[in-house]
Amino acid sequence: MRRVIFIILLVSFTAIYYFSTSHDENSVINQTVDSVRKVINNSTNLSPAPQSDQTGSQNASSDSTSADVEFQADNLQTYNAQQLQTWVQKEASSMNSTNNNTDEKLIQLKAQAQTLTAPQIKSLKERAVNSSLPINERIFSAYLISLNPTEQSLESLFEVAKTEIPNNGALLPHSEAELKNSQETAIRYMQIDELFQRAKTDPNAYDKIKLLAQEAQSAQVRSYADRKLKELKPR
């Protein structure tokens, strides 16, 4: 089976950061974003999750005695806030497992993300911009939002991208502040990239990128949104 690189989020960022040959801040950010973009691009090429027949469902039900049963693709909409948080933590921490780097796993995640409710998307948005949380959980939350096709996700993509990037100190080459800044910027660029894909067919997504080019709190994010806007046909 063809393997798709689903970033080991924190490890990948650290490797990009420490082994970058350039001390230029934009170079570090661009390398980070390129890695994140692989996830988004791969997700858009996945077909919908196959529907299992009644017999298969019954077999799955009879065999499901482990804790993993609660994480089946059609169950996310039933999760309360605490259950969703637990699931996100579990999935984000297991992304470095070889067994999770498969097309099947990504298809499952896409199916799960499509069942998210509006309050759950809002919760994921809040996690994505919460700088006190582990970076892998934050980017996984942002990634789930990008997989959801609803208007609520469109608004959350915009709001995450618009959010101010925390000031972590002087952005000295290969400093912790530079690493954190590249991670924060990558989260916002990832949301813009998804808006860019949707804007090819959705005027509302186009309008969101246009607003970000004017209203995003970060000058870097405004510049990136403006660049993506220019790649689209005017509406």
Q: What is the mean pLDDT of residues 175-197?
A: 91
pLDDT band at 209 (very low <50, low <70, confident <90, very high): very high
> What span, in angstroms and rounded, lies between the C-alpha atoms of 119 and 172?
39
Q: Is the pTM of this model over 0.85?
A: no
The predicted pLDDT at position 107 comes to 85
Reduced to 3 states (helix: H, G, I; strand: E, B; else coil), residue 1 is coil
The predicted pLDDT at position 109 comes to 87
Reduced to 3 states (helix: H, G, I; strand: E, B; else coil), residue 218 is coil
The predicted pLDDT at position 7 comes to 39
Supply the DSSP string of 12-49, one letter for each residue.
HHHHHHHH-S---HHHHHHHHHHHHHHHHHHHHTPPPP
Q: Which two tokens stand for residue 19?
A: 């082994």
Of the chain, the percentage scoring pLDDT greater than 70 comes to 65
The predicted pLDDT at position 96 comes to 57
The predicted pLDDT at position 101 comes to 56
Query: Any idea which of 64-73, 82-91, 154-163, 207-216 has the lowest mean pLDDT?
Result: 64-73
> What span, in angstroms and rounded, lies between the C-alpha atoms of 218 and 200?
24
pLDDT band at 100 (very low <50, low <70, confident <90, very high): low
Of the chain, the percentage scoring pLDDT greater than 90 comes to 48
pLDDT band at 104 (very low <50, low <70, confident <90, very high): confident
Mean pLDDT comparison of 3-12, 27-36, 135-144, highest-scoring range: 135-144
Q: What is the mean pLDDT of residues 66-73?
A: 42
> What span, in angstroms and rounded, lies between the C-alpha atoms of 164 and 73?
33
The predicted pLDDT at position 34 comes to 55
Q: Which two tokens stand for residue 186?
A: 């990558």
Q: How distant is the alpha carbon of residue 85 from its chain centre?
A: 15
Q: What is the mean pLDDT of residues 103-120?
A: 89
> What span, in angstroms and rounded, lies between the C-alpha atoms of 100 and 212?
34
Tell me the backbone φ, ψ of residue 167, rounded to 5 degrees. Answer: -90, 110
pLDDT band at 102 (very low <50, low <70, confident <90, very high): low
